[in-house]
Structure 1
Amino acid sequence: MQPLPTPDRLRALIARLEAGLLERSAAVRLALLAALAGEHVLLIGPPGTAKSELARRLHLAFADARYFERLLTRFSVPEELFGPLSLAALEEDRYERLIDGYLPTAGIAFLDEVFKANSAILNALLTLLNEREFDNGVQRLAVPLISVVGATNEVPHEEGLRAFHDRFLVRVPVAPVSDAQFAALLTLTPPASVPTHPLRRDELESLRQAAASVTLPDPVLRALQAARGFAQEQALPVSDRRWRQTVALLRVQATSEGRTSVDEADLWLLPYVLPERPEQVAAWQAWVIDTLMACPSTQRPSLQRAVEAFERQLQIETSADQDDGEAGKLSLARAIARGDDDHAREGATITRLVAERLEERLRPRYSPVHVAARVAQVDELLQRLTDEHRRLEASRAQVHAMLRHRLWWPPELRQAVLQRHDDACVRMSAWVERTRAVREGFAGLPVDEALVAAPPLPIALEA
């Protein structure tokens, strides 16, 4: 068996394929990965979003693979895709086509507006895409097809097109460049068009053979079972064939990264193989990030309410009701200290000292039992927050390590997942610091050793 293409070589290939294609990282990676697995890709989006450019570049990633491209309409005829009839064969009563240079001899093909073709063409394409065979007269020929990239402005709703739509395992929505990248689009310089070290067919075969022995650990099987449950919740039909094709794609992904087993991070591509329509992709992406990647939520209402409840209680206990007469004296002293007249300024120091003494007299006093009880209550919350912060830090480190050398993860997806972990750690750290400040506040409450009191009731935390 030939050596497998190395991850570094594939990474360089991906970099060359996506050079100058703004916001197309996921589409480039998915198209190349699908081709490695022998699957077909459907690009869904409006005209002018680089769908054909992606297909042409994909062709350059494979050595000795011929390229074929056609725009299909309802008026397209089979001769446009499969070649004209052979007149010499007709003279001998044989119905054969001259297929050289047409789809049956292509390695990579791009079919634009693929669902607009008539039924005669679609029926012939079904066998060619699925079986890699073409009926030319009385003989069925094996075709060298690696992958077909189909393009459409919208997914068809007709029931008769479902079988053909299902032949595209990977379905990627593509949108116009965002406002953030618009300036970059206008100033873009076309890159060199030829990728380095294109892949040979024997390397593809070696990769697919190695992928067949990649294992599916129990956590991955459980994750796929959960994905099936989520699909059922969304009333999304997923055929048994599509599940098996998805697993084969996962195995190729793992093999190409030098791994012998699939892991949960490989499942990032589920939103591009299970949903039927582009509007379903966002919900699947959120589910994968939240459920399969175990991204922590930055919103933890119960913990936030607990911190805020202790802060409110500390504020109450440090500003207890004061005696009206003494409070009036304190207000007068403060007013004098803030006065603008010469007399007030001359006596500012004395007045300030008086105010400080009055404040000290008016500060509420608590028993040692009360203070110790409050500190113990805060310590319990602080320990809970500290433990959760350590857990989040460990999870973040694990995810960083897992994704550091991933070949197929789009950079924007990696950044989104890592940012979720970072944000959760930052927020938890802030709550820890706020709780420590509350602890210091309770520990610093004025104590009257002569007071005898029962421990205060625990602070009520809102549900």
Structure 2
Amino acid sequence: MVDNPTTTLPSPDRLRGLLATLESGLLERATEVRLALLTALAGEHILLIGPPGTAKSELARRLHRLFEGAPYFERLLTRFSTPEELFGPLSLKALEDDRYERLTAGFLPTAGIAFLDEVFKANSAILNALLTLLNEREFDNGVGRTRTPLISVIAASNEVPADEALQAFHDRFLVRLPIAPVSDASFEALLRLTTADDSAAPADTLSAGERADIARASAQVRLSVEAVEALRALRQWLGTQQVTLSDRRWRQCVGLMRTAVATEGRTQIDALDLWLAPYVASPTPELVPRLTQWFDTDIARAVPQDAPWLTRAVEAFEHQWEIERSAEAEQDDGTAGKLALARAISGSQDDGGMTRLMTESLEAHTRRRYSPVHIAARLAQVDEITGPASANWTQVHQDATALADRLRERVWVPPPVVERLLGAHTHTLATLDGLLARLEAVRAGFAALPVDADAEAAGTTPARAPEPVAL
């Protein structure tokens, strides 16, 4: 835990319980649930990008119930929305005294958690007021500016705004998360959901004091050298995509990771905390998969491998073994003709298996025999490949175990992300297992080749190693 005796943080197990409450009945929303709660604990805002009917407003309503004493505000914005709908009506009494003030009770300036649907459709008067409220947590009411109790805004939109005038407002949302309808795998479960599956009032909530403790603990979290290098690599990669993040966004990104680290009981940010990067650094949903791939490859080093080099080697050995296994002796003492006759007879009559046994005996007699030197050379070449392949398997297994150990205590990494990262190693290990089994089988095949030991002893067979199998 973060070393501060005056700080009382919710335990990781308690946070997992809150996440389970938040996620109950929401299908395939593990990532959205975790990012929404983490973003709120960090005092930031989240934008959900996706079609209507994907539980965006439901997630916001559930989130607000986790925060003790946090009023909730929700509004669908259109181009015809007026400031009064968000910030409250004008005070007639104040107007009598020549003051331009709003009655904000029950409106956005007094909310703790707010959900703004179709947020980019609002007009400029509303957006300008929202800019200050979201960033500074202040609201201009008449000639005075007042503090607001706002914890976090969950905004929703069908698409990212293309208008340059909206980019400053778009940048106010630190986390920008694409959201999609449930997949075919969860379709039946979706149909079977009932109103009883909706989240009721949670048994546990987070107090304002606990949120303040989290903020203090987060400020003590250190940024490791590993994390700095990973962030440098992220900045370079973004440069190749012509994406530039503002200085404010970089600091907010680190702040979000500090909150995750502090609430997980760790003391410093590491490179794996950049699992958040696709949802913070991607200006559009289209970049999220590419940035996710970058994280998996360059940071987590968890990409499924098919080991094409080993596949080619195994196939080459199998092909060579098949050639040598079926090769016939160079000298023909009349056995070949007998074998052809036996094969013809066995195909035309059933004599209780005698012809078959005779055919097998003749086939064995006509098979080419190999010197011990030849067989030893083949085995040695197979072993030359088996050694590095086995070492590769050991390294992947160690990496998978180490990664699983690091991810086990992470509260915020969504299960789909964990499954994807560990699944990559599982795929690689299964691939290597299969190829190593084929190598073992082909090695046994070479070892079982007929041996011309008598000829070798007599010196009639050159004790010369064969040409290596071309890999």
Is TM-score (shorter-chain normalized) higher than 0.5?
A: yes
Residues 1:328 and 2:337 aligned together: yes
Letter in 2 for 1:237: T
Could you say if the C-alpha distance between residues 50 and 331 of structure 1 is closer, same or farther in structure 2, counting changes exceeding 3 Å? same
The 5 A counterparts of 1:298-447 are 298-322=305-329, 326-340=335-349, 344-345=350-351, 348-349=353-354, 351-447=355-451
Gaps of 5+ in 2: 1-5
Gaps of 5+ in 1: none
Task: Work out which of the residue numbers 129, 148, 156 in structure 2 matches 1:143.
Answer: 148
Deviation at 1:326, TM superposition (A): 3.3
Distance of 1:117 and 1:219 partners within structure 2:
42
The 5 A counterparts of 1:243-282 are 243-282=250-289
Give the conservation status (yes or no) of the 8 Å contact 2:22–2:199. Answer: no
Task: Work out which of the residue numbers 134, 159, 162 in structure 2 matches 1:157.
Answer: 162
The 5 A counterparts of 1:9-408 are 9-189=14-194, 190-322=197-329, 326-340=335-349, 344-345=350-351, 348-349=353-354, 351-408=355-412
Distance of 1:4 and 1:117 partners within structure 2:
38
Could you say if the C-alpha distance between residues 359 and 458 of structure 1 is closer, same or farther in structure 2, counting changes exceeding 3 Å? same
Q: Kindly report the root-mean-square deviation, in angstroms, between the aligned alpha carbons of the 2 structures.
A: 1.6
Instruction: Tell me the secondary structure at the aligned position of residue 88 of structure 1.
Output: helix
Distance of 2:174 and 2:357 partners within structure 1:
80
Give the conservation status (yes or no) of the 8 Å contact 1:339–1:345. Answer: no
1:322-378 per-residue CA deviation (whole Å, 9 max, x = no partner) reads 5675333213213323433xxx516x42x3443233223211122222221111111
Distance of 1:195 and 1:99 partners within structure 2:
28
Letter in 2 for 1:431: L
Letter in 2 for 1:367: S
Instruction: Give the ranges of 4+ consecutive aligned residues of structure 1 lying more than 4 Å apart after TM superposition.
Output: 321-325
Give the conservation status (yes or no) of the 8 Å contact 1:2–1:202. Answer: no
Letter in 1 for 2:280: V
Distance of 1:46 and 1:430 partners within structure 2:
43
Could you say if the C-alpha distance between residues 138 and 306 of structure 1 is closer, same or farther in structure 2, counting changes exceeding 3 Å? same
Indicate the larger mover: 443-452 or 250-259: 443-452
Give the conservation status (yes or no) of the 8 Å contact 1:18–1:25. Answer: yes
Instruction: Tell me the secondary structure at the aligned position of residue 68 of structure 1.
Output: strand
Distance of 1:234 and 1:327 partners within structure 2:
68
Indicate the larger mover: 261-270 or 142-151: 261-270
Instruction: Tell me the secondary structure at the aligned position of residue 245 of structure 1.
Output: helix
The match for 2:3 is none
Letter in 1 for 2:348: G
1:204-227 per-residue CA deviation (whole Å, 9 max, x = no partner) reads 111111111212222222222222
Deviation at 1:116, TM superposition (A): 0.6
Give the conservation status (yes or no) of the 8 Å contact 2:379–2:446. Answer: yes
Deviation at 1:54, TM superposition (A): 0.7
Deviation at 1:2, TM superposition (A): 4.2
1:186-205 per-residue CA deviation (whole Å, 9 max, x = no partner) reads 21133342122211111111
TM-score, with structure 2 as normaliser: 0.93
Give the conservation status (yes or no) of the 8 Å contact 1:40–1:169. Answer: yes
Distance of 1:185 and 1:56 partners within structure 2:
19
Indicate the larger mover: 316-325 or 399-408: 316-325
Could you say if the C-alpha distance between residues 185 and 352 of structure 1 is closer, same or farther in structure 2, counting changes exceeding 3 Å? closer
Letter in 1 for 2:431: R
Task: Name the % identity.
Answer: 57
Give the conservation status (yes or no) of the 8 Å contact 1:171–1:272. Answer: yes
Give the conservation status (yes or no) of the 8 Å contact 1:297–1:424. Answer: yes
The alignment covers a number of residue pairs equal to 456
Distance of 1:173 and 1:3 partners within structure 2:
34
Instruction: Tell me the secondary structure at the aligned position of residue 469 of structure 2.
Output: coil
Distance of 1:400 and 1:331 partners within structure 2:
60
Distance of 1:161 and 1:296 partners within structure 2:
37
Instruction: Tell me the secondary structure at the aligned position of residue 43 of structure 1.
Output: strand
Give the conservation status (yes or no) of the 8 Å contact 1:7–1:256. Answer: yes
Give the conservation status (yes or no) of the 8 Å contact 1:38–1:147. Answer: yes
Deviation at 1:399, TM superposition (A): 2.1
TM-score, with structure 1 as normaliser: 0.95
